[in-house]
Amino acid sequence: MKIAYLVNQYPKVSHSFIRREIAAVEATGLEVQRFSIRSCANELVDPADLEELQKTRIILNQGFWGILIAGFQVFLGHPGRFWQALQLAIQLGWQSDRGLLRHLIYLLEACTLLQWLMAAKIDHVHAHFGSNSTAVACLCHALGGPPYSFTVHGPDEFDRPQAMKLAEKVKRAKFVATISSFSRSQLYRWCSVEQWPKIQVIRCGLDPDFLGQAITPIPETPHLVCVGRLCAAKGQLLLVEAVRQLVAEGYSLHLTLVGDGELRPQLESLIQRYGLQASITITGWASSTTVQQYLQSSRALVLPSFAEGLPVVIMEALALGRPVISTYIAGIPELVEPEVCGWLIPAGSITALVNALRAALTISVTQLHQMGQAGFDRVAAAHQIKLIAQNLIQLFQTPLPQLDTTDPPKSPKL
Protein backbone atom coordinates (compact mmCIF):
# COMPACT_ATOMS: atom_id res chain seq x y z
CA MET A 1 0.00 0.00 0.00
CA LYS A 2 1.28 3.46 -0.92
CA ILE A 3 0.30 6.43 1.25
CA ALA A 4 0.57 10.14 0.50
CA TYR A 5 0.71 12.76 3.24
CA LEU A 6 -0.58 16.23 2.38
CA VAL A 7 -0.08 19.29 4.59
CA ASN A 8 -0.53 22.98 3.91
CA GLN A 9 3.09 23.68 4.91
CA TYR A 10 5.51 20.81 5.39
CA PRO A 11 8.03 20.44 6.81
CA LYS A 12 7.46 23.21 9.33
CA VAL A 13 9.06 24.15 12.63
CA SER A 14 5.93 23.39 14.65
CA HIS A 15 5.09 20.17 12.78
CA SER A 16 7.69 17.76 14.12
CA PHE A 17 4.82 15.50 15.24
CA ILE A 18 3.85 14.98 11.59
CA ARG A 19 7.44 14.11 10.72
CA ARG A 20 7.49 11.53 13.51
CA GLU A 21 4.19 10.06 12.35
CA ILE A 22 5.39 9.69 8.78
CA ALA A 23 8.64 8.06 9.92
CA ALA A 24 6.71 5.60 12.10
CA VAL A 25 4.35 4.68 9.25
CA GLU A 26 7.33 4.13 6.96
CA ALA A 27 9.00 1.97 9.59
CA THR A 28 6.16 -0.55 9.22
CA GLY A 29 7.14 -1.10 5.59
CA LEU A 30 4.60 1.14 3.87
CA GLU A 31 5.80 3.59 1.26
CA VAL A 32 4.98 7.19 2.10
CA GLN A 33 5.28 10.18 -0.21
CA ARG A 34 5.16 13.73 1.13
CA PHE A 35 3.30 16.61 -0.47
CA SER A 36 2.89 20.18 0.67
CA ILE A 37 0.81 22.97 -0.78
CA ARG A 38 3.36 25.69 0.00
CA SER A 39 6.87 25.90 1.39
CA CYS A 40 8.21 27.58 4.51
CA ALA A 41 11.80 26.51 3.88
CA ASN A 42 13.21 29.85 5.06
CA GLU A 43 11.95 29.16 8.63
CA LEU A 44 13.52 25.71 9.02
CA VAL A 45 16.31 25.26 11.58
CA ASP A 46 16.10 21.57 12.49
CA PRO A 47 18.40 19.29 10.42
CA ALA A 48 15.65 16.67 10.38
CA ASP A 49 13.25 19.19 8.82
CA LEU A 50 15.82 20.22 6.23
CA GLU A 51 16.30 16.56 5.32
CA GLU A 52 12.54 16.08 5.11
CA LEU A 53 12.26 19.08 2.79
CA GLN A 54 14.30 17.20 0.20
CA LYS A 55 11.68 14.41 0.20
CA THR A 56 8.68 16.73 -0.19
CA ARG A 57 7.02 17.93 -3.40
CA ILE A 58 5.58 21.44 -3.16
CA ILE A 59 2.49 22.11 -5.28
CA LEU A 60 2.84 25.90 -5.50
CA ASN A 61 6.47 25.57 -6.55
CA GLN A 62 4.98 24.72 -9.96
CA GLY A 63 3.92 28.35 -10.29
CA PHE A 64 0.56 29.71 -11.46
CA TRP A 65 0.99 28.57 -15.06
CA GLY A 66 2.08 25.12 -13.94
CA ILE A 67 -1.03 24.44 -11.90
CA LEU A 68 -3.22 26.09 -14.57
CA ILE A 69 -1.83 23.75 -17.22
CA ALA A 70 -2.43 20.78 -14.90
CA GLY A 71 -6.03 21.91 -14.49
CA PHE A 72 -6.49 22.18 -18.24
CA GLN A 73 -5.02 18.69 -18.75
CA VAL A 74 -7.29 17.13 -16.14
CA PHE A 75 -10.31 18.89 -17.69
CA LEU A 76 -9.48 17.50 -21.14
CA GLY A 77 -8.87 14.00 -19.80
CA HIS A 78 -11.91 13.74 -17.53
CA PRO A 79 -14.34 16.61 -18.20
CA GLY A 80 -17.22 14.98 -16.30
CA ARG A 81 -15.20 14.52 -13.13
CA PHE A 82 -13.76 18.01 -13.50
CA TRP A 83 -17.24 19.57 -13.61
CA GLN A 84 -18.28 17.56 -10.54
CA ALA A 85 -15.17 18.74 -8.70
CA LEU A 86 -15.85 22.31 -9.83
CA GLN A 87 -19.34 22.11 -8.32
CA LEU A 88 -17.81 20.79 -5.10
CA ALA A 89 -15.25 23.64 -5.06
CA ILE A 90 -18.10 26.12 -5.38
CA GLN A 91 -20.00 24.35 -2.60
CA LEU A 92 -16.97 24.39 -0.28
CA GLY A 93 -16.08 27.97 -1.15
CA TRP A 94 -19.53 29.54 -0.95
CA GLN A 95 -19.76 31.58 2.27
CA SER A 96 -16.56 29.92 3.51
CA ASP A 97 -13.78 31.58 5.48
CA ARG A 98 -11.43 31.42 2.46
CA GLY A 99 -13.90 32.47 -0.22
CA LEU A 100 -14.88 31.13 -3.62
CA LEU A 101 -11.77 32.29 -5.53
CA ARG A 102 -9.45 30.50 -3.11
CA HIS A 103 -11.39 27.28 -3.58
CA LEU A 104 -11.13 27.54 -7.35
CA ILE A 105 -7.36 27.77 -6.83
CA TYR A 106 -7.59 24.72 -4.55
CA LEU A 107 -9.22 22.89 -7.47
CA LEU A 108 -6.21 23.68 -9.67
CA GLU A 109 -3.89 22.55 -6.88
CA ALA A 110 -5.93 19.33 -6.65
CA CYS A 111 -5.39 18.77 -10.38
CA THR A 112 -1.61 19.01 -9.91
CA LEU A 113 -1.81 16.67 -6.92
CA LEU A 114 -3.96 14.22 -8.89
CA GLN A 115 -1.34 13.91 -11.63
CA TRP A 116 1.39 13.27 -9.08
CA LEU A 117 -0.68 10.71 -7.16
CA MET A 118 -1.66 8.82 -10.29
CA ALA A 119 1.95 8.71 -11.50
CA ALA A 120 3.08 7.38 -8.11
CA LYS A 121 0.15 4.91 -7.87
CA ILE A 122 -0.88 6.20 -4.46
CA ASP A 123 -3.64 4.22 -2.72
CA HIS A 124 -4.65 6.69 0.01
CA VAL A 125 -4.10 10.35 0.92
CA HIS A 126 -3.89 11.51 4.51
CA ALA A 127 -4.03 15.25 5.24
CA HIS A 128 -3.26 17.07 8.46
CA PHE A 129 -5.57 19.88 9.62
CA GLY A 130 -9.13 20.37 8.40
CA SER A 131 -8.40 23.53 6.42
CA ASN A 132 -7.07 23.95 2.86
CA SER A 133 -4.97 20.77 2.78
CA THR A 134 -8.10 18.70 3.40
CA ALA A 135 -10.03 20.79 0.87
CA VAL A 136 -7.41 19.94 -1.76
CA ALA A 137 -7.47 16.23 -0.82
CA CYS A 138 -11.28 16.26 -1.00
CA LEU A 139 -11.29 17.91 -4.44
CA CYS A 140 -8.60 15.54 -5.66
CA HIS A 141 -10.79 12.60 -4.65
CA ALA A 142 -13.74 14.15 -6.52
CA LEU A 143 -11.50 14.37 -9.61
CA GLY A 144 -10.99 10.60 -9.47
CA GLY A 145 -8.06 10.46 -7.06
CA PRO A 146 -7.62 8.02 -4.18
CA PRO A 147 -9.72 8.11 -1.00
CA TYR A 148 -8.61 10.49 1.69
CA SER A 149 -8.62 10.93 5.43
CA PHE A 150 -7.49 13.78 7.63
CA THR A 151 -6.42 14.59 11.15
CA VAL A 152 -8.20 17.34 13.06
CA HIS A 153 -6.07 19.02 15.72
CA GLY A 154 -8.01 22.12 16.79
CA PRO A 155 -8.55 24.77 17.85
CA ASP A 156 -8.85 26.41 14.40
CA GLU A 157 -11.29 23.82 13.07
CA PHE A 158 -13.58 24.38 16.06
CA ASP A 159 -13.41 28.18 15.86
CA ARG A 160 -15.06 28.21 12.43
CA PRO A 161 -16.38 24.73 11.57
CA GLN A 162 -19.20 25.95 9.36
CA ALA A 163 -17.00 28.37 7.44
CA MET A 164 -14.50 25.53 6.87
CA LYS A 165 -17.33 23.26 5.68
CA LEU A 166 -16.00 20.71 8.13
CA ALA A 167 -19.10 18.51 8.02
CA GLU A 168 -18.85 18.12 4.23
CA LYS A 169 -15.16 17.21 4.45
CA VAL A 170 -15.95 14.59 7.09
CA LYS A 171 -18.81 13.20 5.02
CA ARG A 172 -16.59 12.61 1.99
CA ALA A 173 -13.58 11.23 3.92
CA LYS A 174 -12.90 7.55 4.48
CA PHE A 175 -12.19 8.35 8.13
CA VAL A 176 -11.22 11.29 10.32
CA ALA A 177 -8.52 11.09 12.97
CA THR A 178 -8.53 13.47 15.89
CA ILE A 179 -6.06 13.86 18.72
CA SER A 180 -8.23 13.75 21.85
CA SER A 181 -11.62 12.71 23.14
CA PHE A 182 -12.45 16.39 23.52
CA SER A 183 -11.78 17.12 19.85
CA ARG A 184 -13.81 14.06 18.85
CA SER A 185 -16.74 15.45 20.82
CA GLN A 186 -16.42 18.76 18.98
CA LEU A 187 -16.59 16.96 15.64
CA TYR A 188 -19.69 15.16 16.88
CA ARG A 189 -21.28 18.59 17.36
CA TRP A 190 -20.95 19.49 13.68
CA CYS A 191 -21.43 16.16 11.93
CA SER A 192 -24.51 14.02 11.54
CA VAL A 193 -24.68 11.01 13.81
CA GLU A 194 -24.31 8.74 10.76
CA GLN A 195 -20.75 10.08 10.37
CA TRP A 196 -19.71 9.48 13.97
CA PRO A 197 -18.30 5.96 13.45
CA LYS A 198 -15.63 7.26 11.07
CA ILE A 199 -14.29 9.76 13.63
CA GLN A 200 -11.42 8.07 15.46
CA VAL A 201 -9.14 9.18 18.31
CA ILE A 202 -5.54 8.87 17.09
CA ARG A 203 -3.29 10.69 19.51
CA CYS A 204 -0.02 12.37 18.60
CA GLY A 205 2.97 10.25 19.50
CA LEU A 206 6.56 10.46 20.67
CA ASP A 207 9.48 8.36 19.52
CA PRO A 208 12.44 6.99 21.54
CA ASP A 209 14.20 10.36 21.30
CA PHE A 210 11.95 11.30 24.19
CA LEU A 211 10.61 8.07 25.68
CA GLY A 212 13.80 6.04 25.38
CA GLN A 213 16.18 8.21 27.38
CA ALA A 214 16.81 8.38 31.10
CA ILE A 215 15.12 11.19 32.99
CA THR A 216 17.70 13.77 33.99
CA PRO A 217 17.66 15.30 37.49
CA ILE A 218 15.49 18.39 37.90
CA PRO A 219 17.69 21.40 38.66
CA GLU A 220 17.47 23.49 41.80
CA THR A 221 17.82 26.62 39.70
CA PRO A 222 14.53 28.55 39.29
CA HIS A 223 14.28 28.12 35.53
CA LEU A 224 10.94 27.74 33.74
CA VAL A 225 10.37 27.32 30.02
CA CYS A 226 7.48 28.04 27.65
CA VAL A 227 7.62 26.48 24.17
CA GLY A 228 5.32 27.52 21.35
CA ARG A 229 4.45 30.07 18.72
CA LEU A 230 4.41 33.59 20.12
CA CYS A 231 0.75 34.40 19.55
CA ALA A 232 -2.24 35.59 21.55
CA ALA A 233 -3.74 32.11 21.93
CA LYS A 234 -0.71 30.80 23.83
CA GLY A 235 -1.10 33.27 26.69
CA GLN A 236 2.51 34.53 26.81
CA LEU A 237 1.42 38.11 27.57
CA LEU A 238 -0.27 36.82 30.72
CA LEU A 239 2.87 34.86 31.54
CA VAL A 240 5.05 37.98 31.38
CA GLU A 241 2.66 39.71 33.77
CA ALA A 242 2.86 36.73 36.14
CA VAL A 243 6.67 36.87 36.12
CA ARG A 244 6.50 40.61 36.86
CA GLN A 245 4.40 39.92 39.95
CA LEU A 246 6.71 37.17 41.21
CA VAL A 247 9.80 39.33 40.71
CA ALA A 248 8.04 42.12 42.62
CA GLU A 249 7.45 39.63 45.45
CA GLY A 250 11.19 39.00 45.58
CA TYR A 251 11.39 35.70 43.73
CA SER A 252 14.47 35.02 41.64
CA LEU A 253 13.52 33.17 38.47
CA HIS A 254 14.24 32.97 34.77
CA LEU A 255 11.68 32.23 32.08
CA THR A 256 12.76 31.14 28.59
CA LEU A 257 10.26 31.65 25.77
CA VAL A 258 11.21 29.21 23.02
CA GLY A 259 9.56 30.14 19.74
CA ASP A 260 8.73 33.02 17.45
CA GLY A 261 5.67 34.62 15.95
CA GLU A 262 3.60 37.72 15.44
CA LEU A 263 3.47 38.57 19.16
CA ARG A 264 7.25 38.83 19.58
CA PRO A 265 7.55 42.65 19.20
CA GLN A 266 4.78 43.19 21.75
CA LEU A 267 6.36 40.74 24.17
CA GLU A 268 9.77 42.33 23.82
CA SER A 269 8.25 45.77 24.43
CA LEU A 270 6.43 44.53 27.54
CA ILE A 271 9.57 42.84 28.91
CA GLN A 272 11.49 46.07 28.46
CA ARG A 273 8.74 48.19 30.02
CA TYR A 274 8.67 45.96 33.11
CA GLY A 275 12.47 45.81 33.31
CA LEU A 276 12.46 42.02 33.03
CA GLN A 277 15.34 41.62 30.55
CA ALA A 278 17.32 39.65 33.14
CA SER A 279 14.33 37.44 33.96
CA ILE A 280 12.89 36.58 30.53
CA THR A 281 14.65 35.44 27.36
CA ILE A 282 13.12 34.91 23.91
CA THR A 283 15.13 32.45 21.83
CA GLY A 284 13.30 32.33 18.50
CA TRP A 285 12.72 29.03 16.73
CA ALA A 286 14.82 26.11 17.95
CA SER A 287 15.57 22.58 16.78
CA SER A 288 14.03 19.56 18.50
CA THR A 289 17.37 18.84 20.19
CA THR A 290 17.59 22.40 21.52
CA VAL A 291 13.99 22.27 22.78
CA GLN A 292 14.87 19.10 24.69
CA GLN A 293 17.84 20.85 26.26
CA TYR A 294 15.72 23.80 27.38
CA LEU A 295 13.12 21.47 28.89
CA GLN A 296 15.77 19.43 30.71
CA SER A 297 17.29 22.59 32.18
CA SER A 298 13.93 23.67 33.62
CA ARG A 299 11.85 22.85 36.67
CA ALA A 300 8.63 22.85 34.63
CA LEU A 301 7.04 23.66 31.30
CA VAL A 302 4.54 26.54 31.38
CA LEU A 303 1.85 26.82 28.71
CA PRO A 304 -1.00 29.14 29.84
CA SER A 305 -2.94 28.80 26.59
CA PHE A 306 -6.40 30.20 25.85
CA ALA A 307 -7.03 27.86 22.89
CA GLU A 308 -5.40 24.53 22.04
CA GLY A 309 -5.86 21.04 20.72
CA LEU A 310 -3.46 18.92 22.80
CA PRO A 311 0.03 20.46 22.53
CA VAL A 312 2.78 18.02 21.61
CA VAL A 313 5.25 19.99 23.72
CA ILE A 314 3.29 18.95 26.82
CA MET A 315 3.88 15.31 25.87
CA GLU A 316 7.56 16.07 25.28
CA ALA A 317 7.99 17.78 28.65
CA LEU A 318 6.30 14.95 30.55
CA ALA A 319 8.31 12.36 28.62
CA LEU A 320 11.46 14.14 29.81
CA GLY A 321 10.19 14.03 33.39
CA ARG A 322 9.24 17.69 33.69
CA PRO A 323 5.94 18.74 35.31
CA VAL A 324 3.59 20.94 33.31
CA ILE A 325 1.69 24.09 34.20
CA SER A 326 -1.19 24.57 31.76
CA THR A 327 -4.91 25.35 31.51
CA TYR A 328 -8.20 23.46 31.82
CA ILE A 329 -8.96 23.58 28.09
CA ALA A 330 -9.49 21.19 25.17
CA GLY A 331 -7.60 17.89 25.46
CA ILE A 332 -5.01 19.04 28.01
CA PRO A 333 -6.84 17.57 31.07
CA GLU A 334 -6.78 14.18 29.32
CA LEU A 335 -3.01 14.14 29.83
CA VAL A 336 -2.13 16.53 32.66
CA GLU A 337 -3.59 15.49 36.01
CA PRO A 338 -3.49 18.32 38.58
CA GLU A 339 -1.16 17.79 41.53
CA VAL A 340 -0.07 14.47 39.98
CA CYS A 341 2.06 15.50 37.01
CA GLY A 342 1.64 19.27 37.12
CA TRP A 343 -0.83 22.06 37.67
CA LEU A 344 -3.94 23.05 35.71
CA ILE A 345 -5.42 26.52 36.03
CA PRO A 346 -8.43 28.37 34.60
CA ALA A 347 -7.44 29.96 31.30
CA GLY A 348 -6.95 33.71 31.64
CA SER A 349 -6.55 33.72 35.43
CA ILE A 350 -3.43 35.69 36.36
CA THR A 351 -3.90 34.86 40.06
CA ALA A 352 -4.03 31.11 39.42
CA LEU A 353 -1.03 31.34 37.08
CA VAL A 354 1.06 33.19 39.66
CA ASN A 355 0.12 30.63 42.32
CA ALA A 356 1.09 27.71 40.06
CA LEU A 357 4.40 29.30 39.11
CA ARG A 358 5.13 30.00 42.77
CA ALA A 359 4.42 26.36 43.63
CA ALA A 360 6.75 25.10 40.87
CA LEU A 361 9.52 27.39 42.13
CA THR A 362 9.19 26.52 45.81
CA ILE A 363 8.40 22.81 46.12
CA SER A 364 11.31 20.41 46.44
CA VAL A 365 13.01 18.81 43.47
CA THR A 366 12.00 15.47 44.95
CA GLN A 367 8.33 16.39 44.59
CA LEU A 368 8.96 17.73 41.11
CA HIS A 369 10.68 14.48 40.18
CA GLN A 370 7.69 12.47 41.41
CA MET A 371 5.40 14.61 39.29
CA GLY A 372 7.69 14.22 36.30
CA GLN A 373 7.80 10.45 36.69
CA ALA A 374 4.00 10.30 36.86
CA GLY A 375 3.83 12.38 33.70
CA PHE A 376 6.29 10.08 31.94
CA ASP A 377 4.14 7.07 32.81
CA ARG A 378 1.04 8.75 31.38
CA VAL A 379 2.75 9.66 28.11
CA ALA A 380 4.34 6.24 27.75
CA ALA A 381 0.95 4.60 28.20
CA ALA A 382 -0.88 6.55 25.50
CA HIS A 383 1.55 8.35 23.18
CA GLN A 384 4.07 5.87 21.80
CA ILE A 385 4.45 6.65 18.12
CA LYS A 386 4.97 3.03 17.07
CA LEU A 387 1.57 1.90 18.39
CA ILE A 388 -0.12 5.06 17.12
CA ALA A 389 1.24 4.43 13.62
CA GLN A 390 -0.10 0.88 13.75
CA ASN A 391 -3.55 2.19 14.70
CA LEU A 392 -3.43 4.68 11.84
CA ILE A 393 -2.37 2.07 9.30
CA GLN A 394 -5.20 -0.17 10.41
CA LEU A 395 -7.57 2.67 9.59
CA PHE A 396 -5.94 3.15 6.19
CA GLN A 397 -6.58 -0.51 5.47
CA THR A 398 -9.93 -1.13 7.23
CA PRO A 399 -13.27 -0.84 5.36
CA LEU A 400 -15.58 1.79 6.79
CA PRO A 401 -18.27 -0.53 8.23
CA GLN A 402 -15.71 -2.02 10.62
CA LEU A 403 -14.73 1.30 12.20
CA ASP A 404 -16.03 2.03 15.70
CA THR A 405 -15.93 4.90 18.17
CA THR A 406 -13.83 3.31 20.88
CA ASP A 407 -10.41 4.68 21.77
CA PRO A 408 -7.43 2.84 20.20
CA PRO A 409 -5.56 0.42 22.47
CA LYS A 410 -2.90 1.89 24.69
CA SER A 411 0.69 0.73 24.76
CA PRO A 412 2.11 -0.77 27.93
CA LYS A 413 4.10 1.39 30.28
CA LEU A 414 7.86 1.39 29.71
State whether 88 and 123 are in the same domain: yes
pLDDT of residue 273: 98
- Please write the tens of the pLDDT for every residue from 70-79: 999 999 999 9
The answer as to whether 412 is a domain residue is no
Q: Could you tell me what percent of the chain has a pLDDT over 70?
A: 96
pLDDT of residue 194: 96
Q: What is the mean pLDDT of residues 21-41?
A: 96
Alpha carbons within 13 angstroms on the beta-carbon side of residue 187 total 32
pLDDT of residue 400: 55
Give whole-number Cα distances, 194 to 130, 198, 369, in Å. 19, 9, 46
Q: Please give the Cα distance from 135 to 191 (Å, whole number).
A: 17
State whether 234 and 366 are in the same domain: yes
pLDDT of residue 399: 74
- Please write the tens of the pLDDT for every residue from 301-355: 999 999 999 999 999 999 999 999 999 999 999 999 999 999 999 999 999 999 9
State whether 368 and 397 are in the same domain: no
Q: Which domain holds residue 276?
A: 211-382
State whether 163 and 99 are in the same domain: yes
pLDDT of residue 171: 97
Say if residue 155 is preceded by a cis peptide, omega within 30 of 0.
Answer: yes
Looking at the structure of the chain, the number of domains it has is: 2
Give whole-number Cα distances, 32 to 19, 29, 137, 229, in Å. 11, 9, 16, 28
Q: Please give the Cα distance from 245 to 257 (Å, whole number).
A: 17
- Please write the tens of the pLDDT for every residue from 363-406: 999 999 999 999 999 999 999 999 999 999 999 998 754 444 44
Q: What is the mean pLDDT of the chain?
A: 94
Query: Among the residues of 78-122, which ranges form H helices?
Result: 79-93, 99-120
Query: Residue 93: which CATH number?
Result: 3.40.50.2000
pLDDT band at 414 (very low <50, low <70, confident <90, very high): very low
- More confident site: 209 or 384: 384
State whether 355 and 388 are in the same domain: no
State whether 145 and 8 are in the same domain: yes
User: Which residues, 6+ apart, have CB-to-CB distance to 146 below 8 Å?
Assistant: 4, 117, 122, 123, 124, 125, 140
Q: Which of 221, 297, 229, 300 is nearest to 259 (CA)?
A: 229
CB 341 within 8 A of CB 374: yes
The answer as to whether 413 is a domain residue is no
State whether 281 and 168 are in the same domain: no
